[in-house]
Amino acid sequence: MALLYILHSLLKLAFLCSFWPTVIPLSLNYPAVFNFGDSNSDTGGLVAGKAFPMTQFNGETYFHEPSGRFCDGRLIIDFLMEAMELPYMNPYLESVGSPSFQTGCNFATGGSTILPANAASTSPFSFNLQLSQFFRFKNRALTLLSKDKELQNYLPAEDDFNKALYIFDIGQNDLDGVFYFPASDEQVVAFISKLMSELNYGMKRLYDAGARNFWVHNTGPLGCLPRIIATFGKKPSNLDEHGCVASHNRAATVFNKKLHDMCLQFLAHSPEANITYVDIFSIKLNLISNYSLYGFQQPLAACCGYGGPPLNFDTRIACGVTKDLNGSIVTANPCNNTAEYINWDGTHYTEAANGFVADEILTGNYSDSPHLRNSPFLT
């Protein structure tokens, strides 16, 4: 009887695992990567596409010059590319310097949203447009390769599109924007559901075109960004035990739960798909909550900003900018040691923090969370 019980348990485990394929968490091996997202993974798209003015301090830690990234150095995507032993990703919109796209292409641009952009959007390159760019890129690459095989040193092979890793790190700007307009909890939930429908549709388009390996980042603790705290955290009652804006983190939690469910629904209708859902929220909140254990000294203050403690952030002046504030000429300068800070400029993370997050991702401890197995879709 004991043997029969063990066999039954093993068969049940195998059945559950068949619904959630495991993408190798510690040893990533893909011929190419295609990334869709916002400034959290933008490696120069907004700068190339809109000539967005990049402060001189961005990139200072690693690249020693502005690199198109909203960070003092490398982003999470950069560290992941290093782990895969692939070159850093070139943005689709970059045309100067003969960029190579042999190992993939980055369609992420700062300010991008899941929902289509409007006239007030920072970036016109929302998720649907990034997808259109990808399909044009793929069609154009395959057409050129059919005419000139030497271009295989610069463009992905046809088979590489099917074997590639497709990364999604987007939605923070959609969620951020909700709080600047009056909305009930029910309206916020309905809005998030709309985001999931849009994301699911886009992923299905990629799947139907041959994509099989999907890597989905959930959104981080939005309420812990200095910019959000400075705007919505003026009342102590709005803050949680970490000093973060509670309403924004609650919304992020709802977003992540629905993103989680969407991945399972997508998987149920896409039997050949491999999806890794990565819990960025938990990694970042753990870092902020236990910052001193990981060698950081400032959990919430911006490294590059103005105003001093506790946030060193002023909504009137961005990192690297010099302007007249109340009759005084001031500059939002960077801190002396970026490795002591989690936040870079009020919205984005430092290279040190990004490196920590990437290391935690690569442990596999925050991927394919066990509670996925308890989803109603698996009962």
H helix runs in 224-329, sequence order: 226-232, 246-269, 280-289
DSSP strands (E only) in the chain = 33-37, 104-106, 165-169, 213-217, 274-278, 298-302, 322-325, 328-331, 341-343
Would you say residue 3 has pLDDT above 70?
no
pLDDT band at 93 (very low <50, low <70, confident <90, very high): very high
Report the pLDDT averaged over residues 359-372.
76
- Identify the active-site residue in 42, 279, 345, 368: 345
Which domains, from first to last, does the chain contain? 31-294+355-367 (3.40.50)
332 contact partners, CB below 8 Å, separation of at least 6? 304, 305, 306, 314, 317, 318, 319, 320, 321, 322
Q: Is 184 a catalytic residue?
A: no
Burial of residue 3, with CB atoms counted within 10 A of its CB: 0-12 exposed, 13-18 middle, 19 or more buried = exposed
Three-class secondary structure of residue 268 per DSSP: helix
Pairwise CA distance, residues 356 & 278, whole Å: 14
pLDDT band at 203 (very low <50, low <70, confident <90, very high): very high
Q: Is 324 a catalytic residue?
A: no
- Per-residue pLDDT at 27: 60
Question: 225-276, pLDDT tens digit by residue?
Answer: 999 999 999 999 999 999 999 999 999 999 999 999 999 999 999 999 999 9
Please give the structure tokens belonging to residue 138: 């793929």
Please give the structure tokens belonging to residue 112: 């991008």
Instruction: Tell me the pTM.
Output: 0.90
Report the pLDDT averaged over residues 308-336.
95
Would you say residue 378 has pLDDT above 50?
no
Q: Are 301 and 311 within 8 A, CB to CB? A: yes
- Per-residue pLDDT at 28: 85
Pairwise CA distance, residues 71 & 74, whole Å: 7
pLDDT band at 5 (very low <50, low <70, confident <90, very high): very low
Q: Is 240 a catalytic residue?
A: no
Would you say residue 7 has pLDDT above 60?
no
Report the pLDDT averaged over residues 302-316.
97
Pairwise CA distance, residues 369 & 132, whole Å: 31
Question: 14-56, pLDDT tens digit by residue?
Answer: 333 444 444 444 468 999 999 999 999 999 999 999 999 888 9
Pairwise CA distance, residues 338 & 320, whole Å: 14
Q: Are 231 and 183 within 8 A, CB to CB? A: no
- Identify the active-site residue in 39, 41, 112, 270: 39
Mean pLDDT of the chain: 90
φ and ψ at 16, to 5 degrees? Answer: -65, -45
- Identify the active-site residue in 217, 248, 260, 348: 348
Question: 134-190, pLDDT tens digit by residue?
Answer: 999 999 999 999 999 899 999 999 999 999 999 999 999 999 999 999 888 899 999
- Per-residue pLDDT at 120: 85
Closest CA to 333 of 53, 39, 65, 60: 60
